[in-house]
């Protein structure tokens, strides 16, 4: 519960002494009622309070009694009125030094702004708990946009006898569009890349509309060959509308047939076949965007209309190579990433002014850091590519996303990375990649509630990908919300993971709440498949909880491999730290810093470094990275 004394600031400006007397009177009246209902005043917020209860019903009953007593006081006395507003939300919190933190606290503070004077506003979670349990009606206020919360959320109020008549202020809930993979019906099967790449381009182009949310390519890709009703697919994806169609490419001629369906009514919104020359492809994209926006009643800003009609390149050969690269990026075959990189290089060679190709190539190089290449191998080229892309097209969202990634992975410049990620998302709010990278930055800086909000949006844009959900579970663990993390893993991740992945993830989650024996039992139930090695995470986990043999063996194996192949020094440091060899771990981290990989920012919050977390050398290393040194969420973790 958050409370706020209405008009206190202006009253204090008129007559400070009178305002302070009213504040003290308000506190003297409210505090006994809070105690009587089992509440704990966490802290004063100046002219209000943050209060926690063990149940939503207790909080609501307390709020009703507080406002009733104040209303009676105001009516009975010819004095300056005391008017409170109250906001309620229910959720998991992190307790630290008598204070509480977390997403639930932030949402409660934002909901407070919706409450009218002498009123109680509450979230949907609380409203469901109060159904038929309080003396007054609970009434919906519609979806509201709250500061600091990415998406509108349903808000309710308790209708008290003096409540004003309801005035619904509906915040626009943006329509969600699913663009299904365009079918290739070209005479030449090798032209499949064109339909695939064009699908990707339509998702990117339409995603730049601020009042539309376009579901990610990875979510819709599995529906390319399914013969199912479009409305059923749309409901499965949580979409408002579905765009589907086919592409036929023959020489320099194109036939693109498209059909937009409303998911709720199952009616067609528009349907058209475009018979054009290949060089008209960008005009087709612009027209599709305009018609879709009109059908879904999406308002197009002037800058968005300009973006729709601005071709990324005038060179069709370069564009074809770019579409082939997009096709390879989606591939899982060995060498797909290398082929995508080579195709992007060819696209740039064909059109040296193709800004998005520069940005995408930088992304591919940066994305491979820590997997098959070191940061120092790609730093100079990635920097040149990003600088060129910014020079050519500072309005392309892909360019700002690449600049942010460069600042985060190479420069360790957190402020620049954040500014560039935010700019990329302003230009394309439907880009799940940029939003996922941004959430990684926020996690790195321990700004967990913000990271969670962006990840929840990623889940909405890509509802079938387990990756963002696993990321959410990891952040809940880091926040100290072990119960919430466990519930999330059991309900949200279990259906999307293999048995081994699920049991390993559950084991880590149980360990964060000190349930070490249960955690090890789960890990024992998730052995590596025959002929494969245990995962890095699994051996580190066992080492930190009393079984270091696997980590030692893997450390020696990787040390030998590093003589001929790329191995990240950060991973060697994790293994050494997990085995209790602090000197060796610090030596690896120092080498990692000197040689330019500098990957500690990505790994430093992991379980493996718990054994050296208080080592002054490790603390100094975190300071060098400009990372948060204190990590109170880790202090609850115990070792067998």
602-616 burial, b if ≥16 CB within 10 A, otherwise e?
bbbbbbbbbbbbebe
Report the candidate in 482, 537, 472, 532 with the shortest Cα–Cα distance to residue 504.
537
Q: Answer yes or no: CATH 3.40.50.10070 is held by domain 176-311.
A: yes
SS3 170: coil
CA distance 143 to 146: 9
Q: Strands 120-123 and 268-277: what pairing?
A: unpaired
CATH fold, domain 2-158, is: Alpha-Beta Plaits (3.30.70)
Tokens 């995603």 identify what position? 207
- Alpha helix ranges (H) inside 462-581: 466-478, 482-488, 499-512, 516-524, 536-544, 549-561, 569-578
Token representation of residue 93: 């919190």
pLDDT at 546: 84
Give the number of other Cβ atoms within 10 Å of residue 301's Cβ: 12
CA distance 247 to 254: 7
Domains in the chain: boundaries = 2-158, 176-311, 532-640
Cα dihedral sign, 261-262-268-274: negative
pLDDT at 638: 45
SS3 612: helix
Report residues of the chain scoring pLDDT below 50: 167-172, 632-640
DSSP character for 278?
G
Q: Strands 268-277 and 253-262: what pairing?
A: antiparallel
What does R_g of the chain's alpha carbons equal in angstroms?
28
CB 563 within 8 A of CB 548: no
Q: Strands 84-88 and 241-250: what pairing?
A: unpaired
pLDDT at 400: 95
Token representation of residue 484: 């919430």
- Full DSSP string of 182-235: PEE--SSGGGHHHHHHHHHHHHHHHTT-TT-EEPPHHHHGGGTT----HHHHHH
Angle in degrees, 0-180, between the axes of helices 569-578 and 549-561, rounded to the nearest 10: 150
Tokens 């979806």 identify what position? 143
Angle in degrees, 0-180, between the axes of helices 466-478 and 499-512, rounded to the nearest 10: 20
Report the candidate in 427, 402, 456, 499 with the shortest Cα–Cα distance to residue 153.
456
Return the bridge partners of 85, or none. Answer: 4
CA distance 637 to 355: 47
Tokens 């245990």 identify what position? 534
Token representation of residue 313: 């390149």
């Amino acid at each position: 519960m958050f409370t706020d004394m209405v008009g206190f600031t202006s009253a204090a400006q008129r007559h400070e002494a009178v305002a302070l007397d009213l504040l003290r009177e308000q506190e003297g009246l409210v505090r006994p009622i809070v105690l009587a209902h089992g509440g704990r005043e966490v802290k004063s917020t100046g002219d209000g309070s943050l209060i926690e209860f063990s149940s939503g019903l207790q909080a609501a009953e307390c709020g009703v009694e507080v406002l009733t007593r104040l209303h009676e006081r105001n009516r009975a006395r010819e004095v300056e009125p005391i008017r409170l507003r109250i906001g309620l939300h229910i959720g998991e919190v992190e307790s630290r030094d008598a204070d509480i933190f977390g997403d639930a606290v932030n949402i409660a503070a934002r909901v407070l702004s919706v409450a009218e004077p002498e009123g109680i506003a509450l979230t949907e979670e609380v409203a469901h708990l109060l159904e038929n349990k309080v003396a007054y009606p609970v009434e919906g206020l519609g979806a509201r946009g709250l500061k600091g919360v990415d998406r509108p959320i349903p808000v309710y109020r308790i209708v008290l006898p003096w409540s004003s008549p309801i005035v619904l202020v509906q915040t626009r809930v943006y329509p969600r569009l699913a663009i299904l993979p365009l079918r290739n019906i070209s005479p030449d099967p090798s032209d499949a890349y064109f339909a695939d790449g064009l699908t990707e381009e339509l998702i990117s182009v339409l995603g730049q509309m601020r009042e539309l949310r376009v579901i990610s390519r990875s979510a819709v890709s599995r529906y390319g060959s399914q013969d199912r009703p479009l409305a059923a697919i749309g409901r499965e994806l949580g979409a408002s509308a579905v765009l589907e169609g086919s592409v036929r490419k023959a020489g320099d001629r194109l036939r693109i047939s498209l059909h937009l369906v409303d998911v709720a009514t199952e009616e067609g919104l528009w349907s058209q076949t475009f018979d054009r020359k290949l060089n008209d492809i960008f005009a087709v994209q612009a027209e599709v965007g305009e018609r879709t926006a009109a059908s879904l009643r999406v308002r197009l800003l002037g800058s968005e209309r300009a973006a729709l009609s601005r071709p990324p390149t005038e060179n069709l050969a370069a564009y074809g190579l770019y579409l082939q690269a997009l096709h390879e990026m989606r591939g899982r075959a060995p060498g797909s990433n290398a082929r995508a990189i080579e195709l992007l290089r060819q696209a740039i060679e064909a059109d040296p002014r193709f800004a998005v190709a520069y940005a995408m190539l930088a992304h591919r190089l940066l994305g491979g850091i820590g997997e098959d290449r070191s940061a120092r191998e790609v730093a100079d080229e990635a920097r040149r590519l990003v600088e060129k892309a910014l020079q050519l097209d500072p309005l392309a969202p892909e360019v700002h996303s690449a600049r942010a990634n460069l600042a985060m992975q190479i420069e360790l410049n957190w402020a620049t990375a954040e500014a560039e990620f935010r700019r990329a998302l302003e230009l394309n709010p439907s880009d799940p990649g940029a939003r996922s990278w941004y959430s990684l930055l926020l996690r790195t800086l321990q700004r967990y509630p913000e990271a969670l909000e962006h990840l929840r949006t990623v889940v909405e844009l890509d509802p079938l990908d387990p990756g963002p959900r696993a990321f959410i579970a990891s952040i809940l663990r880091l926040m100290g919300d072990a119960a919430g993390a466990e519930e999330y893993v059991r309900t949200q991740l279990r259906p999307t993971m293999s048995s081994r992945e699920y049991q390993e993830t559950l084991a880590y989650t149980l360990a964060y709440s000190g349930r070490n024996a249960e955690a090890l039992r789960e890990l024992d139930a998730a052995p590596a498949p025959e002929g494969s090695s245990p995962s890095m995470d699994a051996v580190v986990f066992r080492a930190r909880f009393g079984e270091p043999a696997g980590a030692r063996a893997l450390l020696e194996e990787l040390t030998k491999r590093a003589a001929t192949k790329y191995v990240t020094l950060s991973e060697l440091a994790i293994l050494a730290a997990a085995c209790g060899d602090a000197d060796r771990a610090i030596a690896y981290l120092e080498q990692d810093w000197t040689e330019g990989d500098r990957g500690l920012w990505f790994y430093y919050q992991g379980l493996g470094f718990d054994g050296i977390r208080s080592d002054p050398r490790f603390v100094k290393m975190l300071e060098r990275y400009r990372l948060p040194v204190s990590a109170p969420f880790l202090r609850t973790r115990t070792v067998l």
